[in-house]
Amino acid sequence: MGVKLMDSVDSKPEDALTVPSLEAAPQRTSRKRPADVGVAIYQWVILVAVLLFLFIPLLGMLIFSVRFPLTGAWSGGAWQSIFSLSGTTASGADMSILWNGVLNSLGLSVFTVVLMLALLLPTMLALKIRPSKLSRIVEFICLLPLAIPAIVLVVGLGPIYRFISINVLNTDPIWLAFAYTILALPFAYRALDAGFSTIPVKTLVEAARSLGAPWPTVMFKVIIPNLRGAIGAASFITISVVLGEFTIASLLNRNNLQVAIFQLGQDDSMTATALALLTMVFGIVVLMMLEIVSYELKKKREKNAK
């Protein structure tokens, strides 16, 4: 009895230290829990609802541009008059005002982007290098246009533009870039601020300056290459603001894309709708291209870092 008891006692530690074989362990099958399935379904429902909310109006615009509302006949004359660059629409409306508005908006886009970057980049760089109480003031000023409607801005900008047109410059629509820079400031500031927050600005500047780099070199070869994504996002938002702005240009009696579409719609609503749809599709394509370029640049930087 004593031997058997000792054997049983001695066997317990060995049993406790025994590691079960991996081969004998049952393999668990990967099954999604009901909660995960519910979350996935919820995400797909939200995504489909958002896509329908965005694309159903675009589909309605497309149908309106190819179907006569009174007779119900289908025709691609509106799109043909746009892509053929003809002087008149299918209904005989003059297209010259439209092409003039397109050229004005393209010039305004370039000028506004350059003016916005020239204004914000050096200012934000100085505030990031030496933070002070001015940072809050500059942020407040840049975000202020969000709280002021465009119609209110025109009340203050009207006399200024009247004086500029008579005494300083002229009535060319390109000078609307000053007003559009104000409208784009909140969005461009947020995009650039997000880019600045992802890089060690002070460390990069001090390293470049310690190596003898002048300030233009620091800006164009150190800061801007590290802000490609943020600069691209700010530029795209600014271009979207310029291409979609109507109130200021209309009330100041200047011609741009939206004013031209409105005036063309008085004579040929189908062509005007087709052009408005084309403008929105162009913005979507540019946004997708910007995302692809940003992703490729990020992937290339990660590859070079390795």
Q: The pTM is what?
A: 0.74
pLDDT of residue 306: 67
> Given this model, what pLDDT does residue 8 score?
46
- Low-confidence stretches of the chain (pLDDT < 70) are 1-35, 86, 90-92, 305-306
CB 95 within 8 A of CB 89: yes
Predicted pLDDT of residue 27? 53
CATH 3.20.20.80 describes domain 95-266 = no
What pLDDT, on the 0 to 100 scale, is given for residue 189? 92
